[in-house]
Structure 1
Amino acid sequence: MNAMTQVPDPTFDKPTPQLDTYDARDIVKDGVQACIVLDGQTYYLRITRAGKLILTK
């Protein structure tokens, strides 16, 4: 019988930096899709009818 041991997460006790937070509905102004550009590449952020986010290239 093998006993599983949990390895402690080294980042658990470290404070996390404050991250910028954006509401997806503010980014997707028309309520459906927004374009996001990174290094000349265009990505599309879409909110599905089920309320999920999909990011595609």
Structure 2
Amino acid sequence: MNAPVSSGPCVVVAGGGTAGHIEPALALADAVMRMRPDARIVALGTARGLETKLVP
């Protein structure tokens, strides 16, 4: 599978299980997108943690 090519940075955020790990990752992703709208954000987490409900 070919991913779309972006000229911006690719940022990976990881956190899972509790909101204490997820909320900072979401805040970081939001800040990156405000500074670099062309950025690609990839979120990593668990299959059953709270991130399944909080991460868009």
Give the structure with the larger helix fraction.
Answer: 2
Give TM class, smaller chain: under 0.3
Structure number, greater radius of gyration = 1
Query: Which structure is higher in RCO with an 8 Å CA cutoff and minimum separation 6?
Result: 2
TM value normalised by structure 2:
0.23
Task: From the two aligned structures, give the one with the greater strand fraction.
Answer: 1
Give me the TM-score of the superposition, normalised by structure 1: 0.23
